[in-house]
Structure 1
Amino acid sequence: MGVYHATVWPRWSDMDSYRHVNHAQTITLLEEARLQLLYGEGARHGAGMVDGGLVVARLEAVYHAPLFVNGYPFRVALSITRMRVADFTIHQVVHCGPSEDDKVGVVADVTLAPYDLQNERPRRLTDAERDFLAGWRSGGDEGV
């Protein structure tokens, strides 16, 4: 596996007065791409990661080019760059169009932590979750 490719469609309401996707809406598009991997692929592989809760612990986004709302989707490449006992980091690269040949608009690193909603506290990754995430690894340090 290695890299997961998601397609996200910007909405007219994502646009600011310059016709490009507003910063806050860009963060939402990043989330939509992550959910395709974690909900969609995770469920298909028996690792329903977000069923018990998942919270963003850290998010860093670097903007390289504006994302214009022009009737085309954005291609987002996702891979796991770090996995620890109770969190993991997803590296996301957003292309300005539907192809990997389109220029890169945004690069983000998002650290997520599993969360026990019933007991209202962080939890460790399960073996099934770790196995699923390991299939999308692309480097980085394993952590403890």
Structure 2
Amino acid sequence: MRWSDMDAYGHINNVEVLRMLEEARILAFGPPGGTGAPGAEPPIALFNAVPANAQSLVSEHRVKYLAPLEYRNIPADVDIWISSIKGASLGISYLVSDPVTGVPCVKAETTLAFVDGVSGRLLRVSEEQRELVRPWAGDSVFA
């Protein structure tokens, strides 16, 4: 959490919560398309298993605010897992909790699709990608 993420009430602003979800997704799966300079290998190198011209696009976010996430000078706890594997998309679930009290503050889900960067056509989730994420699969946070 950053000081600038806070709103006038001392809570993390809802727009910044989506940024936190994005950061959790990148930390877990790596940067899409090999963008950026080399760094640490992510726990699930999902984006290493896509064609070079593929783009990963967010097609949907669903967010439910359960309790205020108050600003603290330490990172929030974000649990992240794969909640669905479909033909051309992955569902990613998140549970964001207060790092001191452990109280769940946000539950969310992102649908991520892979698209051919040249043609704009959807790409099927490959068997390699399915095998890569299967160990981290679980139920939807909204189940």
Query: Residue 23 of structure 2 corresponds to which residue in structure 1?
Result: 32
**Runs of 5+ unmatched residues, structure 1:** 1-9
Aligned length: 128
- What does 1:76-87 align with in structure 2 at a 5 Å threshold? 76-87=78-89
Offset at residue 48 of structure 1 (A):
4.1
1:51-90 to structure 2, matched below 5 A, reads 52-90=54-92
Deviation (angstroms), 1:74? 0.7
Q: Is the 8 A contact 2:29 2:47 kept in 1?
A: no
Matched, 1:115 2:106: no
TM-align CA RMSD: 2.1
Mark the CA change 1:48 to 1:13 in structure 2 (over 3 Å): closer, same or farther. Answer: farther
Q: 1:12: Cα distance to partner? A: 1.3
Unaligned runs of 5+ in 2: 31-41
Tell me the alpha carbon deviations over residues 85-131 of structure 1, each in whole angstroms, 9 at most, x when there is no partner.
10111110001116xx6000000011111111122222111222111
Match of 1:18 among 9, 21, 27: 9
Length-normalised TM-score, structure 2: 0.80
Question: Are positions 1:134 and 2:134 aligned together?
Answer: yes
State how far apart, in whole Å, the 1-side matches of 2:69 and 2:50 are.
29
Q: Taking every aligned residue pair, what percent have the same amino acid on both sides?
A: 28
User: How far apart in 1 are the matches of 2:10 and 2:77?
Assistant: 19
Measure the CA separation in 2 of the matches of 1:50 and 1:27: 27
For residue 29 of structure 1, what is the amino acid of its counterpart?
Answer: M
Matches within 5 A, 1:87-106: 87-97=89-99, 102-106=102-106
Is contact 1:80–1:138 with CA below 8 Å preserved after alignment?
A: yes
